[in-house]
Amino acid sequence: MKNYLDKAKEKFYKIVADKNLLNKKIIIKSRVLTPEEAIGNPDRSDFPLLTGKERIMEAKFKNSIGHVFTDMPGNYTDTLKNILNKEIKNNFHRAVFIASANAVMRELDLIDGTVHCKNNEPEKCADKLVVWLKKYYPGKRTVAQVGFQPAFIEKLSKKFTLNVLDLNKDNFGEKYGVPVFDGNKFYKDIIRRADIVLATGTVFVNGSIEKIAKLRPIEEIIFYGVTVSGISKLLKLKRVCFYPK
């Protein structure tokens, strides 16, 4: 049975084949952004991009850019055909494919919002997210947040009962009065109990989407961020991202 990234890759392959891009010499260039390039200078200092736990890889295709969060960054240059034919074996390979798909789909005007917001826009995004959830999920109280986005944690915890799952052990414990659990150990109970599951798009980069989607239909999960801009279009998933570029 194909995993979700393979399903997205298959759909993306069909798009580029239909556009006659496979056999043309098209180069995808990926590079790792510095923290300042990626997120600017926000007032808050505990974003993963600033603590060094994650980086943004940026893929460029013609005039368009696609971003992806990853814990396994690297620079990469190859043809679109080779990227699509390459076997995906690790987080770096997933990041290259996802960033490339984001850039290509943006160039083809299939998506927008593929570049990460900066400075204090993540704070504004958190404020808008609270309003959005209250509007579209009235009466829902319990949120499982997959991924450490500190502005989300602080703002959501004021309006919802929030539990956070993360894979970085430095975040385990309590942040902003909210419990942050080991995502490998405690994900089952937390996701099952939640009214709302809010997940970073990075779950497609590290492969954890497969175990999460066994507990909650993937169509019900709300994904956030620029990483999932292309995949959400390909797989028809819910995505929130209020200040992308």
Domains and CATH numbers, the chain: 4-107 (no CATH), 121-240 (3.40.50.11590)
Q: Quote the pLDDT of residue 73.
A: 84
Q: Quote the pLDDT of residue 120.
A: 86
Q: Quote the pLDDT of residue 34.
A: 76
Q: Quote the pLDDT of residue 221.
A: 98
Q: Quote the pLDDT of residue 13.
A: 96
Each residue's pLDDT, cut to its tens digit, for the chain (245 residues) gives 689 999 999 999 999 999 999 877 767 887 777 767 766 776 656 666 555 567 889 999 999 999 998 888 888 898 899 999 998 999 999 999 999 999 999 999 999 999 998 888 999 999 999 999 999 999 999 999 999 999 999 999 999 999 999 998 988 999 899 999 999 999 999 999 999 999 999 999 999 999 999 999 999 999 999 999 999 999 999 999 999 99
Question: Where would I find the beta strands (DSSP E) of the chain?
Answer: 27-32, 55-61, 64-70, 76-79, 142-146, 161-166, 173-175, 178-182, 196-200, 222-224, 238-240
Q: Quote the pLDDT of residue 4.
A: 96
Q: Quote the pLDDT of residue 47.
A: 62
Comparing CA positions, the residue from 151, 144, 199, 186 lying closest to residue 39 is: 151
Contacts for 139-143: CB closer than 8 Å, 24+ residues apart: 140/195, 140/196, 141/195, 142/193, 142/194, 142/195, 142/196, 143/194, 143/195, 143/196, 143/197, 143/198
